[in-house]
Amino acid sequence: MQKRISPGRPRQYADVRTAAQFDALASPVRDQIVQVIVNQAPWRPGSEESAGVSIREVAEQLGRKPGSLYRHFEALVKAGLIRETGAQTSGGRDAMTYSARGEALRLITPARSGPALTALCRYLKRMGTFAGRESAGVVRDRARRNEPENVDGTRSDQASVSMFGWLDESQQQRLHRLLHEVADVFANARRRPGTKLIAASMLVRPVRLPGGRTGEEPDVADSGSGDATVRG
């Protein structure tokens, strides 16, 4: 069971930085597997060894058969995204347990072009496409079944939000803190009575203006001018 991170203690991240790691996560199933393991079997240097979770337990969380996940687990271990921690007493292939390499994943953007950057971009495109396709599919399916909505036309298990604006440094930092709070909602989010399997995909980015440049308003104290500029 995941322990809450103590206030003031830095979060132990498992950095994702190689092409092999980004390519492994490009599979929606593998991405889901890693998220389950990070939430339910995190790891921090110097702490007690996590009990880990088995393939069978992860399969139960995802509504899949254990046998369909074997190759995905092998690929994730090989890429260094999860690690084997031991075995349960039940025996068999499903008894091996796995834990994360940290308390949260952190995608590291490569400093220059190359295989890792290409793989990261491929992963980001896949994530956005998959999330959009699945969200649209849910909307269509519910319309066909004529499922009732709340009085205000919303549902607690579904939301589509698109935001756009000029944020200063403090607002950008606040946005990141809020994203961490959202991530904490999913901590140790096991399958249990009264729950529903929910996915949230969030992409934050500087907006590209015509020509591929990013909009940036310089600090008046630094530039002496209030004119808007763009930075390539």
* pTM value > 0.85: no
In a domain, 109, yes or no: yes
Total domains in the fold of the chain: 1
In a domain? residue 198: no
Domain containing residue 109: 11-147
Answer whether residue 182 is part of any domain.
Answer: no
135, part of any domain: yes
C-alpha span between 56 and 96 (Å, rounded) = 9
CATH number for the domain that contains residue 53 = 1.10.10.10
Kindly state whether residue 111 falls inside one of the protein's structural domains.
yes
Neighbours of 38 (CB within 10 A): 24
Q: Considering the domain boundaries, does residue 126 fall inside one?
A: yes
End-to-end CA distance of the chain: 45
CB 137 within 8 A of CB 112: no
Contacts of 229 (CB under 8 A, 6+ apart): 216, 217, 218
Q: Is residue 184 part of a domain?
A: no
Residue 141: CB atoms within 10 A of its CB come to 10
Per-residue pLDDT of the chain (232 residues; tens, 9 = 90+): 333 445 556 778 889 999 999 999 999 999 999 999 998 888 776 665 557 899 999 999 999 999 999 999 999 999 999 999 877 666 566 578 999 998 888 999 999 999 999 999 999 999 999 999 999 999 888 888 887 766 566 677 888 888 999 999 999 999 999 998 998 888 878 888 999 989 888 899 999 888 878 888 777 665 544 443 333 3
Q: Is residue 3 part of a domain?
A: no
